[in-house]
A = this chain, B = another copy of it.
Amino acid sequence: MSGKGTTIQEVARVAGVSTATVSRTLSNPDLVRDGTKKAVLAAVEKTGYRINRAAQNLRKQQAGAILVLLPDLGNPFFSQILSGIESVLTTSDLSVLITDASGIKQSQLVGYFQDTRADGIIILDGAIPHGVLKELIEVVPDNRAVFACEWKPDTKLPSIRSDNQGGAHQAVAHLVELGHRKIGHVLGPRGNVLTKERLTGFERAMLEFDIDINSNWLIDGGEFSLEAGAQAARQFIELDELPTAIFCAADLIAMGLISEFAKHGISVPNDVSVIGFDDIAIAYRFIPSLTTIRQNRIQLGVLAATTLMNSLSGRSMPAENNVQLVDVLLVERESTAPLS
């Protein structure tokens, strides 16, 4: 009944068997005879037994938890990915530890593994410093880390990501279809892989559509944030000529840009069309509602968690350079319009 502090010994006593049998019944039922099994389960029920994770973890030399490393807990982009991760991991007995890379010291990160607080890690932050990652990989076996969303090009950890190039390409294609040929691009953080991929997709599309890239219209946002977009808007305004359409590397950038444009009397989409990337929740309700490239964030989370779980349980060894690409989707809304 009480359940308070019942141990496996207690259950064994009640069921009239040894602790070994109780343990087997619970974790490897095939090994025990039906009658015994029933007796044990009855005893478990009666005593309200719950396993002691600390003891189990100590014995099995595991942590029972996986760590999720976010670049920024404050960015709404990540919450749905977390949902996806959670939904997978809670079906197993793994807990989810979440930590914010911004505040963390590198030794802390490695520490999670060294003192067995985490069995694996999902890295959502491609900006993780080289040194930290190197140290991490020394301590953490290959099969215990995966990248999701972002990644580091020169590592061989598995990576789950959206089709960023394809998305950027779709964005440009959409703008071209609307008649635009004066197209700008606000990039994300310098050096970020997503920035690079989306830029590559942008360039490929421009080449394909035979449009010259005007380097004045290629603006370095510096980060995936509202303020980065606002800052980019100010830079655009200083120019002699504005593009007629702008592809932003993130929804937050796009919204910051549109907002700052609005403050200067530049109207989207009348004066300029803007397309974002991500499709965060607010995009649909922004004014104007934001045309964007939707990332399937739930699926990114689910795949990352599944990949890690499988590889932890040894069910499938991750291939080196194993990349899972998740499709993106153009969502047409009101921030883009035909060239008038």
Residues of A that sit less than 8 Å from B by CB = 3-4, 48, 50-55, 57-58, 61-65, 73-76, 78-80, 82-83, 86-87, 90, 95-100, 103-104, 108, 111, 114-117, 139, 226, 229-230, 255-256, 258-259, 262, 281-282, 284-287, 289
Contact = CB atoms under 8 A, between A and B. Distances in A.
Contacts of A103: 83, 86-87, 90
Contact of A79 (B76, B97, B111): B76
A293 B6 CA distance: 49
Contact of A50 (B4, B80, B114): B114
A226 B97 contact: no
Contacts of A287: 258-259, 262, 286-287
Contacts of A258: 287
A81 to B, nearest CB: 9
B281 A74 contact: yes
Given A3-B114, A50-B111, A76 B76 contact: yes
Contacts of A57: 54, 57-58
B75 A79 contact: yes
A226 B95 contact: no
Contact of A58 (B58, B104, B111, B286): B58
Given A73-B79, A284-B226, A287-B286, A50 B115 contact: yes
Which among A108, A258, A282, A286 has the greatest number of chain B C-beta atoms within 10 A? A282
Given A54-B58, A226-B282, A289 B259 contact: yes
Which among A65, A75, A116, A256 has the greatest number of chain B C-beta atoms within 10 A? A116
A54 B284 CA distance: 46
A99 B108 contact: no
Contact of A117 (B53, B55, B80, B99): B53
A111 B100 CA distance: 26
Contact of A285 (B98, B139, B230, B285): B230
Contacts of A289: 259
Contacts of A74: 76, 79-80, 83, 281
B226 A285 contact: yes
Which among A4, A54, A258 has the greatest number of chain B C-beta atoms within 10 A? A54
Contact of A99 (B50, B65, B90): B90
Contact of A259 (B95, B114, B286): B286
Nearest to A83: B73
Contacts of A54: 54, 57-58, 61-63, 116
Contacts of A82: 73, 98
A226 B73 CA distance: 21
